[in-house]
């Protein structure tokens, strides 16, 4: 059950990114992507915890946290799998376009704070952005990204677990 929900979530994340790239390549870094992945991760966590709670009648916080962390992280791996499949197997020729997009978006972000990439006291910010974007698409970069994602997934899992650890209201005796 846990792995089925997590696999469905990972597949949904991958499909979302493939559809975005098919529509417009720049959408890979769009404002939609983080909320989309977060929504899928939370949905997977909720489905897993509700299923366990329904089947077993109760769910302790520790177990809820462990289940939601694992399910959410496995669903989040859909993003990692997308990057590995798309940029390493299907379209390695798109790596350069992605790197340029990251450099442009990063420069834009600095501009919001009144910083100019060209004027940052000799620091080669564009070169740094380029280097990090290339590394982030490497297998080791994707591995590091997947591992660091555990942190934000754990924070979300804490919240979801705290909400769903209790028994359903109809079984708690509150409605008597």
- Render pLDDT for 30-78 as a digit per residue (tens, 0 to 9): 889 999 999 999 999 999 999 999 998 888 999 999 999 999 999 999 9
Residue-level pLDDT at 63 = 94
Give the predicted TM-score (pTM) of the model.
0.84
pLDDT at 169 over 70: no
* For residues 21-26, average pLDDT: 92
**What token pair was written down for 23?**
């529509």
pLDDT-derived band of residue 176, with 50, 70 and 90 as boundaries? very low
Distance of alpha carbon 35 from alpha carbon 39, whole angstroms: 6
Q: Where does residue 141 rank: exposed (0-12), middle (13-18), buried (19+ CB within 10 A)?
A: middle
pLDDT at 174 over 50: no
DSSP 120: S
Taking Cα atoms as reference points, which of 14, 45, 10 lies closest to residue 156?
45
**What token pair was written down for 147?**
């591992």
Residue 129 or residue 153, greater confidence: 153
Distance of alpha carbon 166 from alpha carbon 6, whole angstroms: 22
pLDDT-derived band of residue 121, with 50, 70 and 90 as boundaries? low
* pLDDT, the chain, mean: 89
């Amino acid at each position: 059950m846990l792995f089925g929900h997590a696999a469905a979530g990972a597949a949904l994340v991958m499909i979302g990114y493939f559809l975005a790239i098919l529509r417009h390549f720049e959408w890979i870094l769009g404002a939609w992507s983080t909320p989309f992945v977060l929504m899928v991760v939370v949905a997977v966590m909720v489905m897993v915890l509700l299923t366990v709670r329904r089947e077993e009648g109760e769910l302790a916080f520790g177990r809820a946290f462990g289940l939601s962390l694992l399910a959410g992280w496995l669903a989040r791996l859909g993003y990692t799998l997308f990057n590995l499949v798309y940029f390493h197997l299907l379209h390695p020729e798109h790596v350069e376009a992605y790197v340029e997009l990251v450099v442009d978006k990063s420069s834009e972000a600095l501009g919001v704070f009144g910083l100019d990439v060209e004027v940052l006291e000799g620091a080669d910010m564009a070169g740094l952005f380029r280097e990090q974007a290339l590394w982030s698409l490497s297998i080791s970069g994707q591995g590091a990204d997947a591992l660091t994602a555990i942190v934000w997934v754990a924070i979300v899992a804490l919240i979801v677990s705290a909400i769903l650890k209790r028994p359903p209201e109809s079984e708690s005796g509150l409605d008597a």
